[in-house]
Amino acid sequence: MTDRDIAFLLAEAADEVEIGIAPYQAVIRGGRRRRARRWALATAAALVITGTSGTLALAGLRDGSGGEVTPAVTQQQIPPLTPEERNVYSPIESMIGTGSASGGVKEWSVSVDEWGAPRNDGEAQVQFQAMRTYGEMPVEVTKASQLIGKSSFFVRRTVGDGNPVVITQNTIDPKDTMAGTDLDSVALSLDPKHTTPQRLVIGQVAKTAQEVTCTWKDGSSTVVHRVAEGADVNSDESAIRPVDGSSSNWFVCIAPEGTTFHSVGVTK
């Protein structure tokens, strides 16, 4: 195929291509989640939508002497992740602990729901309604605009056949990150009615924390170490775990039978 033939084919293809914002937006809506932002037409050269201007770039052209011509490069501007990809409209759920209580009769589990930060009032309004549907409304939030720019978490505990119950939650500014020996924790009974000792300790620590020590009233202690992302959650195991979407790591400590919580701290 000669250069003249290629030029003729390109001219025909260009006549059929609609240049502008509309086709570009269609690509983004349909393919952003898969990072697919490219259209290829069956011509001698590829026609690619680039950047945010809807500009068509031509690749693989040759000049009159047969030498390859390198087209000007248009820097692509990758759009921000969609609200769905940022988990604004539904949370990421991560299991951080599981085990048995009441002599092995009842199973318990603890999970963390992480909601991404809305970037504008529209996203915040949708998240506000979604949180109501999930039954996870932050207690300090009275209107949707208070969610803008902040992530939220909800810790749920399930015992036996009971429904998951939110036991602690917070809405966090991205600048408010944990560091060093920072630690937030809560000690709970493994009985929903709180008639048994506080054997379950749940908390969050900085990403750099390697070790947490839970001390019990009988003088014993449990040393908790950080596990790798994606590590299995084993029954009655105490561990520090990364949680998807969270700026901190989470841990669960389980006290031996017959004792209760005394203190907890980051020890490494």
CA distances to 24, 47, 49, 86, 113 from 18, rounded to whole Å, are 10, 12, 11, 32, 44
Helix, strand, coil percentages for the chain (3-state, nearest 5):
15, 35, 50
Where are the chain's structural domains? 3-59, 92-113+152-266
Phi-psi region of 149 (alpha: psi -120 to 50; beta: other; left: phi over 0): left
CA distances to 28, 62, 183, 238, 246 from 224, rounded to whole Å, are 45, 64, 14, 6, 19
Determine the 3-state secondary structure of 234 from DSSP.
coil
Residues written for the chain: 268
DSSP strand pairing (261-266 vs 151-159):
unpaired
Cα separation, 59 vs 68, in Å, equals 10
Q: What's the number of CA atoms in the CB half-sphere (13 Å) around residue 225?
A: 3
Cα separation, 47 vs 61, in Å, equals 11
Q: What is the pLDDT of residue 176?
A: 85
Exposure class string for 238-268: b at 16+ Cβ within 10 A, else e: bbbbbbebbbbbbbbbbbeeeeebbebebee
Q: What is the pLDDT of residue 196?
A: 78
Q: What is the pLDDT of residue 233?
A: 83
Strands (E), 37-116: 46-50, 55-59, 92-101, 106-115
pLDDT per residue rounded down to tens, the chain (268 residues): 555 555 555 555 545 444 433 333 333 233 232 222 221 222 333 223 233 333 333 333 344 445 544 444 445 566 668 999 999 999 999 999 998 876 666 788 999 999 999 999 999 999 999 999 998 988 889 999 999 999 999 999 988 888 888 888 999 888 888 999 999 998 988 877 777 788 899 999 999 999 999 999 999 999 999 988 878 887 778 899 999 999 999 999 988 888 999 999 999 9
250, β-bridge pairs: 204, 241
Threshold 0.85, pTM exceeds: no
Given a contact cutoff of 8 angstroms between Cβ atoms, the answer to whether 139 and 130 are in contact is: no
- The helix or strand, by DSSP H or E, that contains position 227, with its residue range, turns out to be none
Q: What is the pLDDT of residue 53?
A: 32
Which phi and psi (to 5°) does residue 12 adopt?
A: -65, -45
Structure tokens at 121: 């009032």
